[in-house]
Every structure is written in C-alpha cells, then in structure tokens.
Amino acid sequence: MNTNRKTDTICAISTPMGVGGIAVIRISGSETKAVCNKVLCSPRGSRIVESFSPNTAHFCCFYDGDKLIDEVVATYFANPKSYTGEDCIEISCHGSLYVQQKIMETLINNGCRLAEAGEFTLRAFLNGKLDLSQAEAVADLIDSTSEASHGLAIHQLRGGYSENIAVLREKFVNLASLMELELDFSDEDVEFADRNDFMLLLNEIENQVSELTNSFSLGNAIKNGVPVAIVGQPNVGKSTLLNALLNEDRAIVSDIAGTTRDTIEDAINIDGILFRFIDTAGIRSSADEIENYGIERTYKAVERAKVVLYMADITTTTLADVETEIEKLCGQVDVSDKHFIIVANKTDLLCNDLNAEKVGKHNVVYVSAKEKENIQTLTKQLVDSVKNGRQIDNTLLSNARHYESFTNILVSVAAIKNGINSALPGDLIMVDIRQALYYLGQITGQVSSNEILGNIFGRFCIGK
C-alpha cells in the first residue's frame, strides 16, 4: 500500500458485491465535494453539493454527463469530523450491478481514484482518528462471528488497548525520566529514585503485560474460532456426534467401519464462542491406501486442534483401553497444548450407570450421540475447556502482532531488572527501556513502516 498517495480523492463500493435493495459508494479526500458537484444535482437540475452542510443527507440525481444514472441519497461528512478525517460523501444508490459500476466509472472519470484495500481506515489512522490497534479492531469487528469475538473487537475499537498501553507507556516514561536525570548528574553520583522503587514499578509493568500475554491463547481462539477434532477408533459414533452437535445430518453415518475417509468440518456457536468441529477418519491399521490417507489427515486435524474429543464405544471398550489409545495417539502427534475430553458413547445400550469422571488427567463425558443424550453436558465441558477458569471479558489479547510485541516487552523488562540488580550503568539500562517503548509504539502505530501498514490494511475489504 502506497501511503504517499494519501492526498488523492478515493472512491469505492462499501457494500458487498451483488444485487440488493441499495448499495453504498464512499468518496473521501480534499476534492470530494468538487467531484460530486460534477455528477450530483437536485431533482430540479441545480448543482447543490458545494452548499452541503456537514452531517446532512440529500436526495439527488446522479448524472454521467447528460445521462441520468440513478436517484440517490448523498450524505456529507466534513473534515475533520468524519471517519477518515477528510471530507467524505456516501452515495446510497439502488443495488443494481450496472448502477454501481456506472457510478464508480463516472466518479473515476471525474477525478477520483479507486481506493485500495483498507485505504479509508488507513486514512483514519494517518489522520489521527484511530491508532493502529483500533484500526485493526475495525477488521476484527467486520470478521466477528460470535458474541465473544464481537465484544473483543468493540472493546479494542473503543480504545481498550490504547488505555492500557497509555498507562504502560507512562510508567516506562517515568522510569526513563528518572534514569535520564541521574545520567545528567552522573558526575555528582546522585540517585533520584531508590532502586527498590524501580523494581516495584517494573514488577507492576511485568504483571500487567504478563496478564495480557497469558490471555492470548483464549483471546485468539475466540477471535478465530476454536478448532475441535473428533477422533477415535472406527465406528464409535464420531459422525453421529458431529451431527448431534450441529443438530443436522452433516456427516454420513453407517454401521460400516471406515465410512469417513476424509475430514468433515463445520462450525457452531456455543455460549458466544465459535467452535469449529472436525470429524475425522477412524484410527486403525488398514491395508486400504485411501483410508490411510484419511488417517494421516486425522493426525493433521489433531495437530491444529485446540480441543480433542477422543470418542470411544463404551459397550466394547474400557476406559483403561481408551487411556492406552490416547497414549498411542500422543506418540504420533504433539499434543502438549491440547485439551482432551473423553467421550464415552452408546450409553443407551448399557443398563448399568457409569460414574467415572476422569481417566488419568482427562475428563469423561458419557453420551448417546444417536439419542442426543447428555450433549449439553459435553458442550458445557467444551466451553469450560476453552475458558480454563478465566472469565471471557474485554481484557483478552486476541491479536498475534500485539502478542509478539508484548512478549518482546517482557524480554526488555527482564533485561532492565537484570541491569538494575547487576548495578549496570544507567546508559545501558536506558537501551532496554527505549526498546520497550519501541515495542509499545509498534502496537499503537507510533512506530510503523509501510510494510507493516500494508500487511495490516491489506486484509480489509476495498470499501473499508
């Protein structure tokens, strides 16, 4: 993305492509009113755009030369109190594909340029309307698919991270100021702050940053959806369980072992969290080459899962056998960061009550996938496994770029503490303090590059 073109007047269709009742076309830049004055007029034919007052909507006719294209509503937002911080006009036209494209063509012929992906939000950032973390939240809000992911995006958009970072930055600046002051009076061997006070302040910073970094696993899962692999031996009811969880016949169910030979994926929202379920091929030794390909994909599904539902037919398998099967799976795949739940299936075929709640360190849930019995208990276990005792609130870290910066800040804090404990000269300690401030600036955009901005705004849609 070329940030040097920020003086151009840009336009784009902001609504999804396709036929609909209306479409919205957005124009932003210093020549917005001048361009629109060439193509918009009142129903009586007078040019009225130059007289638009801020925050007003006007019924207009859109013309390409002498040809009427559409009757539209034009809404004017004046700089600097607009989304981009520039003059903006949003044209609401009829949703005809021809009308949309003709309006865009006419605007470009009269002085606009087609906006790049995310360029409206980029201009909002460059004009100080949003910091970089808030701009990223715009994309997260557009992409949100659950109540929880929506809540995280809204909190970040409204400056939640920015407030935390401002507090952290103030603490680092105070630390740097005292250290710089001592450097100025180094010849007089003066200390302006007790080293214990420095350590207390650093401990506060470390605790605050650690809390954010520790929340990333949950925040990132909520943002992107929690991948859940359903695995086990053939014919234990994995596909039936998927259908029961989704409440629809998504996967083919058969008494023939090895029916599922590829992964089947679908998603469902449970308690505001999006879970992405992956039904997999049964794990067994097989001479069938195609089935073995499916089993390889099962291992790959486990690798990318956050939660593994290990399913067993409780009428033919003991829980001790299940534990052995899981140990074998652990020998094939790194499961150190996975949460396992044992799903003991086909309880409708048993007469006796089962009450073992754990096998080793794994929780056990008894279900009848066929009869949809105890599915609610399983979904509660799923939610609890993701939360892991933590409340889903608006302080969760969900952005991988921010996580990397906060992790680097922790490294800098450790270096500062080590420098103080080792009685290093203040100028050496200042290097690590400045480095921590640099990483904070990366999050909000006080420190950025065209490459970083291109990566961030490139994932936006054209009209945003």
Of the pLDDT bands very low, low, confident and very high (cuts 50, 70, 90), residue 178 is confident
Q: What is the pLDDT of residue 297?
A: 78
Of the pLDDT bands very low, low, confident and very high (cuts 50, 70, 90), residue 65 is very high
358, pLDDT greater than 70 = no
Of the pLDDT bands very low, low, confident and very high (cuts 50, 70, 90), residue 105 is very high
* Residue closest to 54 by CA, chosen among 82, 12, 31: 82
Q: What is the pLDDT of residue 428?
A: 85
77, pLDDT greater than 90 = yes
Of the pLDDT bands very low, low, confident and very high (cuts 50, 70, 90), residue 285 is low
Q: What is the pLDDT of residue 191?
A: 54
Q: At what angle do helices 426-444 and 160-184 cross, to 10 degrees?
A: 160
Of the listed ranges 12-26, 83-97, 223-237, 286-300, the least confidently predicted one is 286-300
Percent of the chain with pLDDT over 90: 26
Tokens of 428: 């050496």
Tell me which of 3.50.50.60, 3.40.50.620, 3.30.1360.120, 2.40.50.140 is the CATH number of domain 3-130. 3.30.1360.120
Q: What is the pLDDT of residue 156?
A: 77
Q: What is the pLDDT of residue 263?
A: 61
Q: What is the pLDDT of residue 98?
A: 94
Q: Is 73 helix (H, G, I), strand (E, B) or coil?
A: strand
395-423 burial, b at 16+ Cβ within 10 Å, e below that, comes to: bbbbbeebbebbebbbebbebbbebbeee
Of the pLDDT bands very low, low, confident and very high (cuts 50, 70, 90), residue 261 is very low
Q: How far is CA 331 from the centre of its chain?
A: 32
Q: Which residues contact 408 (CB under 8 A, 6 or more apart)?
A: 435, 439
250, pLDDT greater than 60 = no
Higher-pLDDT residue of 297 and 402 is 402
Q: What is the pLDDT of residue 68?
A: 95
Q: Which residues contact 53 (CB under 8 A, 6 or more apart)?
A: 76
Q: Which residues contact 113 (CB under 8 A, 6 or more apart)?
A: 5, 8, 9, 10, 11
Residue 372 burial (C-beta neighbours within 10 Å; 0-12, 13-18, 19+): middle
Give the domain 223-387 fold.
Rossmann fold (3.40.50)
Strand 358-359 relative to strand 362-366: parallel, antiparallel, unpaired?
A: antiparallel
Question: Which whole-number Å values give the CA distances from 144 to 129, 149, 151, 273, 344, in the listed order?
Answer: 22, 5, 9, 11, 33
Of the pLDDT bands very low, low, confident and very high (cuts 50, 70, 90), residue 289 is low
Of the listed ranges 9-18, 58-67, 101-110, 129-138, the least confidently predicted one is 129-138
Q: What is the pLDDT of residue 133?
A: 83
Q: Is 34 helix (H, G, I), strand (E, B) or coil?
A: helix
* Domain residue spans of the chain: 3-130, 136-215+398-445, 223-387
Q: What is the pLDDT of residue 199?
A: 84
Q: What is the pLDDT of residue 85?
A: 94
Place of tokens 């605007």: 107
CB atoms within 10 A of CB 191: 12
Strand 339-345 relative to strand 307-313: parallel, antiparallel, unpaired?
A: parallel
Distance from C-alpha of 403 to C-alpha of 413, rounded to nearest angstrom: 15
Distance from C-alpha of 55 to C-alpha of 57, rounded to nearest angstrom: 7
Of the listed ranges 45-49, 207-211, 255-259, 444-448, the least confidently predicted one is 255-259
Q: What is the pLDDT of residue 413?
A: 92
Higher-pLDDT residue of 259 and 84 is 84
Of the listed ranges 91-100, 131-140, 384-393, the least confidently predicted one is 384-393
Kindly report the CA angle at 44 between 43 and 47, in degrees rounded to 5?
90
Residue range 28-39, pLDDT digits in tens: 999 999 999 999
* CATH of the domain spanning 136-215+398-445: 1.20.120.430
* Residue closest to 161 by CA, chosen among 395, 392, 353, 372: 395
132, pLDDT greater than 80 = yes
Of the listed ranges 123-137, 248-262, 347-361, 405-419, the least confidently predicted one is 248-262
Same CATH topology for 3-130 and 136-215+398-445: the answer is no
Average pLDDT, the chain: 82
Higher-pLDDT residue of 349 and 268 is 268
Residue 336 burial (C-beta neighbours within 10 Å; 0-12, 13-18, 19+): exposed
Q: Which residues contact 196 (CB under 8 A, 6 or more apart)?
A: none
Flag whether the pTM goes above 0.85. no
Q: Which residues pair with 23 in a beta bridge?
A: 93
Of the pLDDT bands very low, low, confident and very high (cuts 50, 70, 90), residue 252 is very low
Of the pLDDT bands very low, low, confident and very high (cuts 50, 70, 90), residue 186 is low
274, pLDDT greater than 60 = yes
What mean pLDDT comes out for the span 206-220?
Answer: 86
CB 10 within 8 A of CB 120: yes
